[in-house]
Structure 1
Amino acid sequence: MTTRKNFKRQVRARAARTGESYTSALRNLRPAPSADAGTDADSPGSVRLAVAQTPVREDPQDAGALRASGREVRSLMREAGARGARIVHFPEGALCFPGKYVMSADGPDTAGPADWDRCQWPVLRSELAAIARLARELRLWTVIPSVHRLTGPNRPHNSLYVISDRGTVVTRYDERLLSRTKLSYLYAPGISPVTFDVDGVRFGCLLGMEIHYPELFAQYETLDADCVLLSTTGVSPGNAAAQAQGHAAANGYWVSLSVPTQHSATAPSGIVAPGGDWLARCPVDGSPSVTVAHLDDSSAFAAASVAYARPWRRESRAGIHTGHRVTDPRSQDRTAAF
């Protein structure tokens, strides 16, 4: 274990020094495998990721609906585990996506501040605890969105819980850039990005409308994320899919887009490679499902994006062009003739 930790430390140090991703630095430091060595799937710096799509229910007062959502999540966790996934990623609202009218203290016909005392908190906690127990049983990292209760009278956070393969919450991401409705009526915003590592692959987390903010994706690039997990429910589906591809290509990392089954006909959940191509997508028939992809640099396009495009962009942003600038008057004159 100590040897493994030291090796990971060396890889991280190289990545920080050269601008490479973790997986690229790992490829340069790891000795070539022998004929009987395991595959990359068994080594640090690569991981099998499952992304899910589930139906969304809007009423956290409905204990039966919360339990049904929990059962669906656990069923898909078992499917992901059976397909060899090490980590599974769920959409915003996988357990419940509270509606502004359902929760309104001003009545069901008026949008207003949410009355969170109506939420079936004991049932929600029970379902999350059951998910954590199954994560431990399956040895499956599980990223599950839920409402995170704060001390009253503060509103809760809209959050992503990261549950390890030992069944413990290792971190939590709270949505930072909320929609107008969420900010006005439902949630308190979070304050910081969150990363976590699984088998040497670093993940970042985003939620909801944050797909519209390229600066958040760029921030995770500077934090050496290899993959960003984006859970959403309230965005235009086709727009979300196109933006996920753009963020992956622009930043040279994988993006996992997890959306509800209600959007599957036009934008099913899926995983985008660093070059911007879809690696895997869920069915378009509206069914609860998971799809699985292996995150490594096995494709030439992904390898080029991770190993070359990303470091070059970092150098460009750091001012590598400064030394190549010229003082030619024709460069300064914006009205110079042809």
Structure 2
Amino acid sequence: MTANKNLKRRVRARAAKTGESYTAALRHFRTAPRGETMRLSVTQLTVHPDPGDTAALRESGRQIRALMREAHAAGARLLHLPEGALCCPGKRIMSATPDVVGPADWDRADWPTLADELRAIATLAGELRLWTVLGSIHPLTPPRRPHLSLYVLSDQGTIATRYDERLLSNTKVSHMYTPGAAPVTFTVDGLRFGCALGMEAAYPEIFSEYERLDVDCVLFSTHGPGTPVNNGPFALQAQALAAANSFWVSYAGTAQDAPNAPAGVITPAGDWAARCPAAPSDALTTIDLTRPTENPARQWRRTARSGLYKQFQAPDDPRSLHRAGPQ
């Protein structure tokens, strides 16, 4: 019964997203076999902190396109890149007051070059038939500050959707960005993906929400503070969240942080299935993701959260002494 309800929810979600009829959406799930696989590449790469540095933005675009070709050669259908892959603005560089972290001066950003590079990346995604997910900044109408985003580029060379980081750090929300408002999911070859960004591995509710949306894998892109004390837990938290929700997690970080937390893919059991080298250099690893069969642990957690235990609970005074047995 629970599995049937979950199927209906997935069918309704697909129909709402694609505009298909309920029957057409149901046909998709009935013809998509369990156990199917999709090849995913995840990367770590050097990110650049100044959105006003035109040469650096061009270099970021070149790096990303080189990794796209490498992923395509490995047979990948989806390439996952880190937070700020195209540009990862530094808080001190962006501050309007030199040497003091304060409100960001977004007039310094080279928005035309960022747009040119994104278009070139999208064009190559279409040529390679490679879904590409990359981090950058997304402009809003002034005086609103931009979003910190993940662009999801389809294998047709278009922007399929965009995820905007929702739970920002104090500095990000106070001085730099406008927070996002909603989860984002998309489907490639029968596997359903969700997106998370920045420090959102510190918020289990982001991932449990994606579990309720029936994703098979969360693409988590991060930059990290760059120190073992602060960045390592993001990778550890990602492992715990994969196991707690019984889905894959793809962890894409920067080359600068790779000695402490290299990029990789985590199984639904919370184990690393593949990782890039723990070295400060651009790298890519590729793995076949298998669409999970119905997971008993995942289904039981849903049942447990549905109010199951209320019928078994009995009131008792917590201050009462332990007794040897029923009187």
Asked if the contact 2:84/2:134 (under 8 Å) is kept, the reply is no
Asked if the contact 2:192/2:215 (under 8 Å) is kept, the reply is yes
Between the aligned residues of both structures, percent identity stands at 52
Asked if the contact 1:195/1:204 (under 8 Å) is kept, the reply is yes
| Structure 2 alignment gaps of length 5 or more | 11-25
Select 1:243's aligned residue among 227, 237, 246. 237
Structural RMSD (CA) = 2.6
Find the aligned partners of 1:279 and 1:322 in 2 and give their Cα distance: 39
Corresponding position of 1:263:
257
Corresponding position of 1:8:
none
Asked if the contact 1:178/1:208 (under 8 Å) is kept, the reply is yes
Select 2:86's aligned residue among 82, 92, 95. 95
Task: Please say if 1:308 is aligned against 2:296.
Answer: yes
Deviation at 1:65, TM superposition (A): 0.5
Once the two structures are superposed, residues 143-164 of structure 1 have per-residue CA deviations (whole angstroms, 9 ceiling, x without a partner) of 0111000011110000000000
Find the aligned partners of 2:33 and 2:118 in 1 and give their Cα distance: 42
Corresponding position of 1:322:
310
Matched residue count:
303
Asked if the contact 1:193/1:204 (under 8 Å) is kept, the reply is yes
| Residue type of the alignment partner of 1:51 | V
Once the two structures are superposed, residues 120-148 of structure 1 have per-residue CA deviations (whole angstroms, 9 ceiling, x without a partner) of 11111111111001100100000011100
Corresponding position of 1:4:
none
Find the aligned partners of 1:88 and 1:32 in 2 and give their Cα distance: 23
Find the aligned partners of 2:84 and 2:232 in 1 and give their Cα distance: 19
| Residue type of the alignment partner of 1:47 | M
Corresponding position of 1:336:
322
**Mean Cα deviation higher: 117-126 or 314-323:** 314-323
TM-score, structure 1 as length reference: 0.83
Task: Please say if 1:221 is aligned against 2:211.
Answer: yes
Asked if the contact 1:330/1:336 (under 8 Å) is kept, the reply is no
Corresponding position of 2:38:
47
Corresponding position of 2:182:
192
Secondary structure of residue in 2 paired with 1:131: helix
Superposed, 1:12-161 pairs within 5 Å as 15-16=6-7, 45-107=36-98, 109-161=99-151
| Residue type of the alignment partner of 1:151 | T
Deviation at 1:30, TM superposition (A): 6.1
Deviation at 1:115, TM superposition (A): 1.0
Asked if the contact 1:56/1:93 (under 8 Å) is kept, the reply is yes
Find the aligned partners of 1:192 and 1:261 in 2 and give their Cα distance: 29
Deviation at 1:29, TM superposition (A): 5.6
Secondary structure of residue in 1 paired with 2:152: strand
TM-score, structure 2 as length reference: 0.86
